[in-house]
Structure 1
């Protein structure tokens, strides 16, 4: 069985740890953290916007390292799972690849398309797999939409609308810093940009109308045009001031033979969901039954596909770094359009 090491023990490192406990294709064998408390197995205090809070982990069978260099010197490690802050992704990924390790990197792959290109080049030079952990296409309703697009069961995709909005992320003091986090486009909207890239391909051009904060998009409405006439995608994304609804996302995708519709709003006192519906041309509506899944099931599925990609030598499209690179480029185009007020070419 393949052996992996988590690099970076924060919220996403914790979620990946939980996912490894369910994985059948890859075993977590090591992790690294600068924090001696975490290296001792005490991951209490980790908290995110979903999933259980961090706690003590089972150290049996795990090696705790302090640095990435120590991980890379371990010949038993096949896969380096990067869960570091975004501005550290590119350097860590390139270093791991050069050391002969395969890489799975949390989103965003990097903060710029140029940095993404460096990762892609490093993977090609090392003849190793570089993969990205964009979990959205592995999650319930979005996985259903992705599989429908792949199978053609509802015909071709024609139009779409995607929404992803959060309340102020005050726990991230540098959220709008383009050199560390990247703001709402790179940190938040990149989920939908990646999903749009998977379903529709790369837009020909984009228009983005936005409220800016320190020169970075805070909230935007965007329109994306594609080469095929009539194929349009709209999005709403960013930060609103309404703390009573910390998070919401949704999608409406027009296929040739049906319309998919779904929306979720996380409230301070619960969650409201409009379940996935497929509206048919004969005026009927289906409500697909989705497999029951835990909050980390999508992450476990990512790990299984990462292991299969390494074994087969063929990367699953949902993990393909070239698609993740295009998503970052798309977000950069939206930022440029928001500043200029004009259509921006994505070519």
Structure 2
């Protein structure tokens, strides 16, 4: 098995989490980092803070190549995969440049800010005969991974639908969060997790209708009904921002199968987290509580990196991390915005 040599571009919170994940993956190794920040290029990552995982540390980078620009990193012929942990508005340009330099690309979500950007990235990957994979980590978190396994097993029959929730308090610390040309707003930056999951589990809807409220050019909060050819398939989602800071984050799922319901709900409150762990409610009135491990959120990123490695080693593009799937998630987010603005259903 050949070692996949990784150039990690962008040493912020997500770059730090990816770095930690690579340390646990045997067949991929970060051999180079890229950052405009001179302090980061010395391995001093102690100012990195995030909403999960450990804080940044002083990292030994004595065996790594360091680059101040993406152009210099891309010129390194030894790099097989470029991991882009850059601000969203830079994803498209950086990914295309990496692909044209002959590298495979693993880019953090959102893939791009528009469907057109995503289409450009997919086309560039095809032209270069390289893969563009997108860091939609949600399916690898234990609750969501177990749900995928239960559904795929067919044990409880076919999917009947589900409801998905993802809400944050106003992220005032994220500059340009509501700028559609830089971060994308609550749907493109936050709800895209669930849009991706819905697309993966249920396929692409024929139409959708969203009701919500706007903040400038982006949706602040909305609830959406995704409509499929089968009218008995009921899929909904609620996502966005509330303007009270007492609950910085919550997400949940309820998935309906013919003979079972999967339920999970987590809220991160300012006075402590509250979780209703994943349960499987069966047709014979059992409440099954699967053992999902210790809940370390960084482990999901380790599994995700493992899927990136598998995709590159086999040449079979991941059905979870593919650029085509991530592109559809961005399209759904923009269709939801269109529906809120129009006050009507829209065709997908």
Shorter-chain TM range is: over 0.9
2:175 equivalent to 1:173? yes
Q: Is 1:234 matched up with 2:236?
A: yes
Match of residue 303 from structure 1: 305
Q: Measure the CA separation in 2 of the matches of 1:131 and 1:101.
A: 12
Alignment of 1:63 onto 2:62 = no
Deviation for aligned residue 1:70: 1.1
Note if contact 2:141-2:297 (Cα within 8 Å) is conserved in structure 1: no
Q: Deviations over 1:235-275 (max 9, x none)?
A: 11100122111100000000122100000000112210001
Tell me which residue corresponds to 2:132: 130
1:332 to 315, 321, 334: 334
The Cα of 1:148 is off from its aligned counterpart by: 1.9
8 Å CA contact retained: 2:32, 2:67: yes
Q: Structure 1 CA distance, aligned partners of 2:62 and 2:153?
A: 43
Counterpart CA distance in 2 for 1:149 and 1:328 is: 24
User: Where in structure 2 are the equivalents of 1:64-79 lying within 5 Å?
Assistant: 64-79=66-81
Structure 1 position 294, deviation (Å)? 2.2
What secondary structure does 1:43 align onto?
coil
Q: Say which SS state the counterpart of residue 36 (structure 1) adopts.
A: coil
Check conservation: 2:80, 2:103, Cα contact below 8 A. yes
Instruction: Kindly report which structure 2 residues correspond to 1:140-159, keeping only aligned pairs within 5 A, or say none.
Output: 140-159=142-161
**Structure 1 length-normalised TM:** 0.98
Aligned-partner Cα distance in 2 for 1:314–1:303: 15
Aligned match of 1:277? 279
2: distance between equivalents of 1:149 and 1:122? 34
Deviations 1:181-205 (A, max 9, x none): 0100000000000001110001111
Alpha-carbon distance in structure 1 between the residues aligned to 2:302 and 2:27:
10
Distance (whole Å) between structure 2 residues aligned to residue 201 and residue 297 of structure 1: 27
Q: Residue 228 of structure 1: CA displacement? A: 1.8
Matched, 1:214 2:194: no
Q: What is the alpha-carbon distance in structure 2 between the residues aligned to residue 49 and residue 338 of structure 1?
A: 30
- More displaced, 316-325 or 150-159? 150-159
CA distance in 2, matches of 1:292, 1:11: 22
Farther-moved stretch of structure 1 (148-157 vs 283-292):
148-157
Map of 1:97 onto structure 2? 99
Distance 1:116 1:334 in 2: 17
1:25–1:303 Cα contact (<8 Å) kept: no
CA deviations on 1:21-66 (whole Å, 9 max, x unpaired) are 1111201111100010111111121111111111211213211111
| Displacement of 1:76 | 1.1
Alignment-derived partner of residue 316 in structure 1: 318
- The residue that corresponds to 2:31 in the other structure is 29
CA RMSD of aligned residues (A): 1.0
Specify every segment of 5 or more residues in structure 2 that has no aligned partner in the other structure, as ranges: none
User: Aligned match of 2:117 in 111, 115, 120?
Assistant: 115
Q: Deviations over 1:144-163 (max 9, x none)?
A: 11122223232221111001
Using the TM superposition, give the Cα deviation of residue 112 of structure 1 relative to its aligned residue in structure 2, in angstroms: 0.8
DSSP-derived class of the 1:271 partner: strand
C-alpha separation in 2, matches of 1:328 and 1:111? 7
Conservation of the 8 A alpha-carbon contact between 1:261 and 1:277 = yes
Please say if residues 25 and 308 of structure 1, whose CA atoms lie closer than 8 Å, have aligned partners that are also in contact.
no
Would you say the 8 A contact 2:81–2:103 is kept in 1?
yes
Q: 2:190 aligned with 1:161, yes or no?
A: no
Separation in 1, partners of 2:295, 2:168: 23
8 Å CA contact 1:5–1:77 kept in 2: the answer is: yes
- Out of 258, 261, 284, the position equivalent to 1:259 is 261
The aligned residue for residue 20 of structure 1 is 22
Which whole-Å CA distance do the structure 2 matches of 1:303 and 1:287 have between them?
27
Deviation at 1:293, TM superposition (A): 4.5
How far apart, in 2, do the equivalents of 1:43 and 1:113 lie? 34
SS at match of 1:81: strand
